[in-house]
Amino acid sequence: MGENLYQQLVRRSWESGEYKAGPSEREDVSAAIEGRELRKFLRSKMEWIVEREAYEARPERSRRPEERTMKLAQYVKFREEKFGGVLFETRSEKVYTLSQTGSAVVKEIAAEGGDAKAVIERLKVKFDDKDGSIEKDAAEFIEELKTKGLLVE
């Protein structure tokens, strides 16, 4: 199946490094108008991609403190259940069952956000953690969620 004009222009731009769209294939006036509109559209999409990738590539330590907040990854959904909770990763269709403690951690992240330290401190106060067991368990669980790609900062 052949590529449309947009796909051809994107491929040519990607390969050459030049992001120009114009009436090089056709010289009539309607092609020139189409080329200008296509160029504007293509440029806006390329700028959006560059901006998004530049933000995602920025190291954690260079982000402002208010940006350092954990959240569930884009394709992860959480549902609370009687036994605890369920995390569903929609891209790979993996399902993770959570204990009540795991569910409390995920609920706290979803509700308030913040970095791992802030989430753990709120959980310690909420559950009156005198012996530090919640702190240890929550920290390990948060690291596991990050390792599996279910949690992002």
pLDDT in tens, 2-25: 667 777 777 777 777 666 555 554
Strand order through the sheet with 76-81? 76-81, 84-89, 94-98
Report whether pLDDT(85) > 50: yes
Model pLDDT, residue 75: 86
Model pLDDT, residue 71: 85
Parts of the chain belonging to CATH 3.90.930.70: 65-152
Model pLDDT, residue 26: 46
For the entire predicted model, the pTM comes to 0.53
Q: What CATH number is given for 65-152 in this structure? A: 3.90.930.70
CA-nearest of 57, 46, 52 to 13 is 46
Whether the Cβ atoms of residue 145 and residue 153 lie closer than 8 Å to each other: no
Whether the Cβ atoms of residue 86 and residue 71 lie closer than 8 Å to each other: no
Sequence-distant contacts of 34-42: CB under 8 A, at least 24 apart: 34/5, 38/5, 38/6, 38/9, 42/6, 42/9, 42/10, 42/13
Return phi, psi of residue 98, to 5°. Answer: -115, 145
Percent of the chain with pLDDT over 70: 74
Question: Which residue is it, tokens 């596991």?
Answer: 144
Q: Which residues pair with 114 in a beta bridge?
A: none
